[in-house]
Amino acid sequence: GAKAAWCPACGVASLAPGAQRDALLALAKQSILAKLRLPGRPGVPQPPSRAALRSALRRMRAQRSDTPGMLRDGPGLQEYEVLSFAEAGSSTSRSVHLHFRFSQEVAGSTEIQQATLYLFWASPGRGAQPVTVRLLRQDPNMTVASETRLEVQRPGWTTLDIGAAVRSLFGETPRLTVELEVPEDWGSPLPPDHSDSHWPFVVAQARARTRHRVQRR
Amino acid sequence: GVDCGADSRMCCRQEFFVDFKEIGWEDWIIQPEGYHMNYCAGLCPLHMAGIPGLAASFHTAVLNRIKAASAAAAVDSCCVPTQRRPLSLLYYDRDSNIVKTDIPDMIVDSCGCT
């Protein structure tokens, strides 16, 4: 036709419109996956329940207003905020294991700036009740990486800063196992089921690792 | 910068929107609904070098004519992004965690000639 079918800037034959669109869509997918360091799009997710998600976002907002400036902007480095809900593991009458799984892509290419564990106590006994929170290594003996004793005075949310422990554990694997131990007469420290709005979760802030520059003379 | 029209030949910004539903990604990308993958296209003859978009004033146009008449006018420069901004994504990762991240320099806001 009148308009030459060639690319004005590079002088080669331009793609037919349909082929051009397909090429651009493929480029968009490749570009986003590369920047998210994903080998391919993730499988169909199992989203958390709306109640748990809404409750977690509300807690995160409350926590952020309590501790402003938690994460200062890094020098143009890509930052991540990850919200991970617990998977219930083995349990006894007074303790339970919670498993959190973080993706290798984020854990492998970022530095954890901050990590907070959110726990909800529905009906603690009277007075201050001792609760022990342990972060366990992923080795066969599940050795203890860190242990914190809490005094739970009343029903409600408790937050625990686990940033240092997560940084040390992520060096081995992007998995986190938390053991909760409560007084005998409490019963299970977990809400009745996963869709409950008081399900435990972890929020981690991470920043892409700075590219190491090696100066050679 | 200048947005490309139907018959633009000079350096301009070509808008291109990728709808995540169209590529079947709406199940794992929670927000936004798509990505503005704009790009720069068009000619950058030397007399337009260094000017973001097209001539913006009479003085510039005259200056361009003088440069265009010069012997070196045969060399082109390149049509590149002059302003970009991050793409904020909220998505489910492979373990169904919810991840929020801002990917720097992913959206081209304007183009110009080097």
Contacts of B86 (CB under 8 A, 6+ apart): B102, B103, B104, B105, B106, B107
Note whether B36 and B17 are within 8 A (CB).
Answer: yes
pLDDT tens column, B68-110: 676 555 566 889 999 999 999 999 999 999 999 999 999 999 9
pLDDT at B2: 87
Which position has the higher pLDDT, A8 or A39? Answer: A39
Which position has the higher pLDDT, B65 or B6? Answer: B6
Note whether A130 and A124 are within 8 A (CB).
Answer: no
Contacts of B82 (CB under 8 A, 6+ apart): B1, B52, B110, B111, B112
Residue numbers in B near A80 (CB within 8 A)? 99-101
Identify the CA nearest to A32 among candidates B54, B50, B53, B89: B89
**Cβ-defined contact of A47 to B92 (cutoff 8 Å):** yes
**Cβ-defined contact of A48 to B96 (cutoff 8 Å):** yes
Q: How many CB pairs under 8 A join A and B?
A: 97
Name residues 90-149 of chain A within 8 A of B (Cβ).
Answer: 101-103, 105-106
| Mean pLDDT, residues B17-39 taken together | 95
Burial B64-90 (b: 16+ CB within 10 A, else e): beeeeeeeeeeebbebebbeeeebebe
The β-bridge partners of A159 are: A118
Averaging pLDDT over each range in A67-76, A147-156, B49-58, B61-70, which range is the top one?
A: A147-156
Average pLDDT for chain A: 83
Contacts of A6 (CB under 8 A, 6+ apart): A12, A13, A14
Positive or negative CA dihedral for A187, A189, A93, A146?
negative
Alpha carbon of A175: minimum distance to chain B alpha carbons (Å): 11
pLDDT at A2: 37
**Cβ-defined contact of B97 to A101 (cutoff 8 Å):** yes
Residue B25 contacts A, CB cutoff 8 Å: yes
Nearest CB to A8; choose among B35, B39, B43: B43
Using the predicted structure, report yes or no on whether residue B46 has a pLDDT greater than 90: no
Nearest CB to A45; choose among B28, B100, B102: B28
Note whether A204 and A115 are within 8 A (CB).
Answer: yes
pLDDT at A109: 81
Q: Which DSSP symbol is given to A57?
A: H
Residue A216 contacts B, CB cutoff 8 Å: no
Residue B68 contacts A, CB cutoff 8 Å: no
Note whether A52 and A94 are within 8 A (CB).
Answer: no
Distance of alpha carbon A34 from alpha carbon A29, whole angstroms: 8
| Mean pLDDT, residues A45-68 taken together | 83
Measured CA angle at A27 (ends A81, B78), to 5 deg? 105
Phi and psi for A159 in degrees, rounded to 5? -115, 145
Interface test with B, best of A12, A20, A32 (most B CBs within 10 A): A32
pLDDT at A211: 61
Alpha carbon of B80: minimum distance to chain A alpha carbons (Å): 12
Alpha carbon of A190: minimum distance to chain B alpha carbons (Å): 20
Phi and psi for A47 in degrees, rounded to 5? -60, 150
Which position has the higher pLDDT, A96 or B52? Answer: A96
Three-class SS of residue B99? strand
